[in-house]
Structure 1
Amino acid sequence: MLPLIYLIGSVTFIIGLKMLSNPATARKGNAIAAGGMTLAILGTIFLYRHHGQGLHNYGWIMAGLLIGGVVGLVSARRVKMTAMPEMVSLFNGMGGACAALISIVEFEYMTAVIFTGAPVRMQLVIILAGMVIGAVSFAGSVIAWGKLNGRIKDISFKGQHIFNLVILAVILLLAVVVTAALPAVTVILFVVILLLSLLYGICFVLPIGGADMPVVISLLNSFTGVAAACGGFLYNNPVMLTGGILVGSAGTILTILMCKAMNRSLKNVLIGSFGSPKAAGGSREQGAYKEITLSDTAVIMAYARKVMIVPGYGLAVAQAQHACHELETLLEARGVEVKYAIHPVAGRMPGHMNVLLAEADVPYEKLLEMEQANGQFNTTDVVLVLGANDVVNPAAKTDPASPIYGMPILDVENARSVIVNKRSMKPGYAGIENDLFFQPKTSMLFGDAKQVLQQLVAEIVNSL
């Protein structure tokens, strides 16, 4: 019976992942995968047998499930959309920690019994791999969580990347030594490997700038999946193995797609410090910018034929997605066509803007990917940029000295007019000025995105 349950669980993971590829079916896919996981957990608790005996300590198991379930449910319900990226990073880190703990427990069991032979040596390799990858994912995810919520700043020093490579080389060397030492396994070396793995995870993420956080999150997510798959190998558990492989491969593919969206290699992301203060070297003096009033903005948008809205992190910070949807509905009632242009790396995690707008019940068909949106800007009357910066910066195409040069962007400058809502003229996470703000067809509308949109809606309703 248990193998059948594991098979059903594995199938639900595959189906759920497939459904996650479409926003219209993503919620149902998530529920299906969660149902399969629940079935697999309950099946393991009540049906697992080893040498004719089931699990013990049911009280501890149920207490752990209850506490973890309550904490997860409350956290997920209370989290603000602006804090969603850091919650994803933190939860991913917990997955890495679990995988590392599994390896630690299995290593402790291995050292308590005398083992010899090639199969056991391979088991030790899997234990070490799960522990190292899980520890790196845990430590790196915690640092990413701290950087996303502002508690931890970018920290780098000369030769840091060489230092990181040396740590990684020492970890691999000690892992070889421990594996070769069977059956006289040295516990001290194992502990040293664990500590070095945690240190590497910290140093690995510390110098990476905020603009690269979507890539880092997806990469660490793939690490957690691989570590979980190692646990599946150890326990010969097909559902754990399948889930880990799916997470690892999906995270890897997503990482590649994120790098492609930024026109950068993964190596460049990890050692380029894009988004750090050093990246500001590509900035240069600009001319004057012009401001626009709320009333003028209301007139321009109300009498346009087509409006494109470009959401960015500023929209998330202001929690302005509902006000944005209200503006969209109001404009459409006046016969204006409204679409949203979504850049793949807008926000702080992959799909951040899609999730944000879905919460406000914005129809999925109104969300255009970068390629689709770029093909429609030349027929757009007004582009309203809400808190986006680097993803609309023409310097990515025109300034070879810019750190974002070569990064695919939304070609908003092709529209007839561009209105940019920002709190101030401060640069984005790449640390450079935005050439778009100083172009003749661009007007700046300063203020909190939510307040500005609410005032804009009121202006359209009362004055037109």
Structure 2
Amino acid sequence: MMATLVTVLYIVAFGLFITGLMGLTGPKTAVRGNKIAALGMAVAVVATLLRVENNWPLIVVGLILGTAVGIPSARRVKMTAMPQMVALFNGVGGGAVALIAWSEFRTSGGFADTATYVAAASVFAALIGSVSFWGSLIAFGKLQEILPGRPIGFGKRQQPVNLLMLVAAVACAVLAGLGGASQAWMILLLVFAAVLGVMVVLPIGGADMPVVISLLNALTGLSAAAAGVALGNTAMIVAGMIVGASGSILTNQMALAMNRTVPAIVAGGFGGGGVLPGAGDGVERTVRSVSASDAAIQMAYASQVVVVPGYGMAVAQAQHAVKDMANLLEARGVEVKYAIHPVAGRMPGHMNVLLAEADVPYDALKDLDEINDEFARTDVSLVIGANDVTNPAARNDASSPIYGMPILNVDESRAVIVLKRSMSSGFAGIDNPLFYADRTSMLFGDAKKSVTEIVEELKAL
């Protein structure tokens, strides 16, 4: 009876997982989707606990500690810090899987008299889980600016070093999985995988960090599925495969959005820092500055305005002010749309989440393919802290590091207003010719303050 009940509960949990994931396809249903998936996880946890015969005190302590740390952290985190929170929580999952694999090795006497598939799944989970944990910690450090955002590595020697760590980790995994092996091989496996995780992510520049987060998330899911095979836990297998598959699809889509391949991103060496003050070619350029009053007048008498949000909007928490501005413009008969680049911000869907938080209608959010044909008919494009995703060098300059990356064609608009704190470059660390274009004006200052001033000017018109 108990085995049947557990099976039924797992099936219910799987249905809730999939239903919840379907809800995450749009801002309107995302909150409900999260709640459904969380309910599914609660059901899966209950079903798993019904199988437990001992170690209840340890389980209770773990639940209490996890709840005490997780809930306050999730509630207090700002939207600007959400990417690093996702990286950290994802890494914890990978670390947990690695520890589970190590525990299985110890309790089974080094996989003595253990089925080959169980040993193989365990060492795979240990390797991938350790890579994900340590790689996620480095990603967290870069996003939190504890570590430099620029690529850090050994240059041309980086890939041979990474390959050496991978070969060493796989060799230790094979030796540990043979059965009855010394625990030293399992420890060395975890150590080499940890070094590999660090060495893979350190050379990756900040511009590629959204893709890296998605990739590490997929790896954590795959390691959890492998651990589920080793433990005979169907819930871990299904949940891990859902995370691994969805993360892999998202990683590929984001890489395509940057016109880059996942291997090229993992090879590292691109982007990060955002500290270059100018083009770096010795040519002095001038920009045209504009006031909030001038910006308000331009948009008030426009037929169509396109808002292009970037990480600068997230930092300033300007999304609510942007929504207030859009309401005033729409009251004057101006059509307002939002252009969302797939890798704007520092994690997948960053801009969508921020704007949904401000109750911006989902229909007004246009992805790159939908909006690019609109720019030629747009009177004013308002770029709020977006740098690399609007850089025309990706189209026009074959020598640019981002050449070939699909961008938002804001330079085709009749007028462009860029809101920035300064002339510093974006996360890719390269200059943006858009800022010096004849049809571009710069409104310097904090994005929230600037948009609020525009709102006040619109009210006065």
Unaligned runs of 5+ in 1: 49-53
> Deviation of residue 43 (structure 1)?
2.1
Correspondence for 2:370 among 347, 364, 372: 372
Q: Residues 399, 24 of structure 1: CA spacing in aligned structure 2 closer, same or farther, 3 A cutoff?
A: same
Distance 2:225 2:83 in 1: 24
* Mapping of residues 237-386 of structure 1, within 5 Å: 237-276=233-272, 284=281, 285=283, 287-386=285-384
The Cα of 1:363 is off from its aligned counterpart by 1.1
The DSSP-based 3-state class of the residue aligned with 1:341 is: strand
Query: 1:62: Cα distance to partner?
Result: 2.3
The equivalent of 2:128 in structure 1 is 133
* Paired position in structure 2 for 1:99: 97
For residue 283 of structure 1, report the CA deviation from its aligned partner. Answer: 5.6
Between the aligned partners of 2:369 and 2:204, the Cα distance in structure 1 is: 27
Give the Å deviation of 1:268. 1.1
| 1:162 aligned partner | 160
The alpha carbon displacement at 1:170 in A equals: 1.2
* Corresponding residue for residue 187 of structure 1: 183
Deviations 1:359-399 (A, max 9, x none): 11111111000111102111111000000001000000000
Find 1:39's aligned residue among 30, 39, 43.
Answer: 43
Are residues 458 and 278 of structure 1, via their aligned partners in 2, closer, same or farther at CA, if it must alter by over 3 Å? closer
User: What letter matches 2:28 in structure 1?
Assistant: A
Partner residue of 2:201 out of 202, 205, 223: 205
- Quote the Cα distance in structure 1 between the aligned partners of 2:28 and 2:262: 30
Corresponding residue for 1:411?
409
Deviations 1:209-235 (Å, cap 9, x if unpaired)? 000001100000000000100121012
Structure 2 alignment gaps of length 5 or more: none
Aligned-partner residue type, residue 204 of structure 1: V
Distance 1:25 1:135 in 2: 34
Alpha-carbon offset, residue 20 of structure 1: 1.2
Q: What is residue 82 of structure 1 aligned with on the other side?
A: 80
Q: Which residue in 2 is equivalent to 1:216?
A: 212
Paired residues for 1:2-41 under 5 Å: 2-41=6-45
What corresponds to 1:225 in structure 2? 221
How many residues are treated as equivalent by the alignment?
452
Of all paired residues, the percent bearing the same amino acid is: 50
What is the CA deviation profile of residues 271-329 of structure 1, one whole-angstrom value per residue up to 9, with x for unaligned ones? 14111469989964463211111111111111111110000000011111111111111
Cα distance in structure 2, aligned partners of 1:190 and 1:239:
26
TM, length-normalised to structure 1: 0.94
TM superposition shift of 1:171: 1.0
Cα distance in 2 for partners of 1:459, 1:122 equals 68
Query: Would you say the 8 A contact 1:261–1:407 is kept in 2?
Result: yes
Q: Distance in 1 between matches of 2:34 and 2:272?
A: 35
Aligned counterparts of 1:16 and 1:63: Cα–Cα separation in 2: 28
* C-alpha distance in structure 1 between counterparts of 2:422 and 2:314, whole Å: 16
C-alpha separation in 2, matches of 1:350 and 1:343:
10
Q: Secondary structure at the match of 1:111?
A: coil
Between the aligned partners of 1:409 and 1:221, the Cα distance in structure 2 is 25
> How far apart, CA to CA, are the structure 2 residues paired with 1:249 and 1:279?
36
Aligned 8 A contact 2:203 2:268 in 1 = no
Cα RMSD between the aligned structures? 1.8
Alignment check: 8 A CA contact 1:282 1:402 kept: no
Tell me, what secondary structure is at the counterpart of 1:345? coil
Instruction: Describe the SS at the equivalent of 1:420.
Output: strand
Q: How far has the Cα of 1:140 moved from its partner?
A: 0.4
**Match of 1:445, SS?**
strand
Secondary structure, aligned partner of 1:440 = coil
Which of 113, 127, 147 in structure 2 is aligned with 1:152? 147
User: 3-state SS of the aligned residue for 2:109?
Assistant: helix
Give how far 1:66 is off. 2.5
Gap change, CA 1:136 and 1:279, over 3 Å in 2: farther
Aligned CA distance change for structure 1 residues 42 and 57 (closer, same or farther; 3 Å): same
**Post-superposition offset of 1:177:** 2.7
Higher mean C-alpha deviation, range 389-398 or range 226-235: 226-235
What's the offset of the Cα at 1:55? 2.5
The CA deviation at 1:87 is 0.2
Which amino acid in the other structure matches residue 134 of structure 1?
G
Q: CA deviation at 1:237?
A: 1.6
- Partner of 2:108, secondary structure, is helix
* Code of the aligned partner of 1:425: M
Give the match's secondary structure for 1:375: helix
2:192 maps to 196
Q: What is the rounded CA distance, in whole Å, between the counterparts of 1:178 and 1:228 in structure 2?
A: 19
Task: Look up the SS of the partner of 2:382 in the other structure.
Answer: strand
Offset at residue 405 of structure 1 (A) = 0.1
For 2:57 and 2:182, locate their aligned partners in 1 and report how far apart those are by CA, in whole Å. 34
- The CA deviation at 1:447 is 0.5
How far off is 1:63 after superposition? 2.8
Q: 1:330 to 1:16 in 2, by over 3 A?
A: same
State the TM-score, normalizing by the size of structure 2.
0.95
Aligned: 1:461 with 2:456: no
C-alpha distance in structure 2 between counterparts of 1:192 and 1:58, whole Å: 31
Give the Cα separation in 2 of the matches to 1:428 and 1:40. 43
**Match in the other structure for 1:51:** none
